[in-house]
Amino acid sequence: MHMMKADVMVDIHARNNHIAEHVHEHLAEHRIFAVNIMGAPGAGKTTTLENLLKHLDIPGYVIEGDIESNIDTERLRSQNILASQINTFGACHLDAPLVHNAIHALQFDKPGILFIENVGNLVCPAEFSIGEDIKLLQVSVTDGSDKPYKYPLAFEKADIIILNKIDLLPYVDFDEEFFMKGIRHLNKTAPVFKVSGKTGEGFEEAAVWLKQRAGF
């Protein structure tokens, strides 16, 4: 019996990333552009994807990620949106194996855009690749303007940031300058679109950006 030391240098996310690549290839084969929607519970993720789909004249698909329930999926299906549900039963984020199972259950008849709504959480979803093309970060003025400083990774990794509930600006102490300063330290390129899920304003511009980015 003897002891030996072996250098390993293996990233813990390697297996997840490998499956994420497979998901991405599968979607690319069907010409599906995947958007990973991240944001805190109640920030307006489902409302945003509904509004974006209204302004996008291309086929849309949705995978809903929640700890429990299929409330959002039912809500989308009632509007004739093709939606499927993942329940994580306790896990705080979606990972590539969960999304892998969900995409193989979906029928992608036409090229289009797939919104994957992550579990409501501003922390963990940013850490896991799920095979997406871009990450959309959903924040709202009621979350508070300090969020880029408190949850830097989500802002650093975002490709597009949507600031929701701007109709509530007169009623909340949201320091937009402080908020934008924090974002620009972490992320030089992601556009920030100001929207209101209540009035519908601002989504059209975000949809135009998204369509162009998706190459449609």
Partner 1 sequence: MHEYPVTVQIVDIASETARKNKGRVRRIDLVVGEDSGFIGESIQMYFDVVAEGTLCEGAQLFIEGVKPQLRCEKCGKRFERKRFSFQCPYCGGDGEPTPIGKELYVKSVELEVEDQ
| Closest approach of partner 1 to the CB of residue 48, in Å | 24
Beta partners for residue 32, in sequence order:
112
Out of 64, 95, 117, 143, the only residue in the binding site for partner 1 (CB under 8 A) is 95
| Beta-carbon contacts of residue 150 (< 8 Å; ≥ 6 apart) | none
| Beta-carbon contacts of residue 176 (< 8 Å; ≥ 6 apart) | 145
127 makes contact with partner 1 (CB under 8 A) = yes
Beta partners for residue 139, in sequence order:
163
Q: Please, which of residues 162-191 interact with partner 1 by CB under 8 A?
A: 182, 185-186, 188
| Closest approach of partner 1 to the CB of residue 118, in Å | 14
Q: Please, which of residues 17-76 interact with partner 1 by CB under 8 A?
A: none
Given the complex with partner 1, which of 13 and 211 has the nearer CB atom?
Answer: 13
81 makes contact with partner 1 (CB under 8 A) = no
184-to-54, 102, 155, 194 alpha-carbon distances in Å: 30, 34, 9, 16
198: its two tokens: 């209540």
Given the complex with partner 1, which of 23 and 114 has the nearer CB atom?
Answer: 23
Helix (H) or strand (E) holding 70: none
What amino acid is encoded at 66 in this protein? D
Given the complex with partner 1, which of 31 and 181 has the nearer CB atom?
Answer: 181
Out of 58, 91, 134, 168, the only residue in the binding site for partner 1 (CB under 8 A) is 91
End-to-end CA distance of the chain: 63
Task: Determine the interface stretch with partner 1 among 1-9, 45-53, 108-116, 192-200 (rule: CB under 8 A).
Answer: 1-9
CA distance 68 to 91: 10
Task: Determine the interface stretch with partner 1 among 21-29, 77-85, 105-113, 122-130 (rule: CB under 8 A).
Answer: 122-130
Out of 58, 106, 124, 168, the only residue in the binding site for partner 1 (CB under 8 A) is 124
How do 32-39 and 134-140 pair as beta strands? Answer: parallel
Decide: 42 and 96 in contact? Cβ < 8 Å: no
Applying CB under 8 A, which residues contact partner 1? 1-13, 15, 90-92, 95, 123-124, 126-127, 146, 149, 152-153, 156, 182, 185-186, 188
